[in-house]
Structure 1
């Protein structure tokens, strides 16, 4: 199964295309506002509004047989702990080896933003290179899962 933290995911179409080719079901989890796919492999899961409700839904279900796609670092950490393959939409894999550093960096940046109200703004924009990296990383992750199972 592929679980997608779908509210702000920029690679939903790519996920659907690759999942269809591999015949793997996908749960697109969101708080609403997404159009359901006609693809029978794609399930739209709408969770109630609230902080981290979609994240908790995914974290409660992800196992070592699953791929999770999210930019949410605490959710990624829970899924890595459960044994799932985890990818960010830019193709960066989150693993047991790097999730601690990624969490620490996230916390540090949050502290810096809180200490300096002028340090605002987002990170880099999503690029074609990010999309390409994601496509390759997703293919690699699905191959690893197939070898596991």
Structure 2
């Protein structure tokens, strides 16, 4: 069964992702730390002790090839891509092996700029267009994952 693993800390599309994944019979799992405790009825929630990257490592360890991950964390996305997952952020951008290096480099340069005393803008206010973009891309990814799962089942 395909799993949907959601880095649920600060994820604004949890409910939308759960709704869509149910239409594809994809098993959702929420991951959060003890300071967030995000839970939904009939959904597995894995709560880990608060600590640097504790959620990330737990999520990666639960991941199997062709699972789907929702995260805005590029470091976590890179680990998930290395294990053969589909990765999408909460705005509907698919993170791939083709764009992850550039995103990680941008994250590094932004952090270096902030450490030197620079200020960067925070995220823009979330809009309905963000939700629509997310849903469209997420549905495409769900369809690809289901198709790949069907092909691998037929080969066995």
TM over 0.5: yes
Distance in 1 separating the partners of 2:38 and 2:133: 26
Distance in 2 separating the partners of 1:12 and 1:49: 20
Corresponding residue for 1:31? Answer: 33
CA contact (8 A) 2:68 2:86 kept: yes
CA contact (8 A) 1:69 1:88 kept: yes
- 2:10 is paired with a residue whose SS is coil
Distance in 1 separating the partners of 2:15 and 2:110: 30
Count of matched residue positions in the alignment of Structure 1 and Structure 2: 146
**Mean CA deviation greater in 108-117 or 82-91:** 108-117
| Structure 2 residue 127 is the aligned partner of structure 1 residue 127 | yes
1:89-128 Cα deviation digits (max 9, x unpaired): 00000001100001001111111111124x1441222221
Distance in 2 separating the partners of 1:15 and 1:34: 17
Distance in 2 separating the partners of 1:46 and 1:52: 13
TM-score by length of 1: 0.92
Distance in 1 separating the partners of 2:145 and 2:58: 21
Moved over 4 A (4+): none
1:36-55 matched pairs, under 5 angstroms: 36-39=39-42, 42-55=43-56
Name structure 2 gaps, 5 residues minimum. 150-156
CA contact (8 A) 2:9 2:38 kept: no
CA contact (8 A) 1:88 1:94 kept: yes
Distance in 2 separating the partners of 1:5 and 1:80: 14
RMSD: 1.3
Pairing partner for 2:13 from 11, 14, 33 = 11
TM-superposed CA distance for 1:61, in Å, is 2.3
CA contact (8 A) 2:30 2:38 kept: no
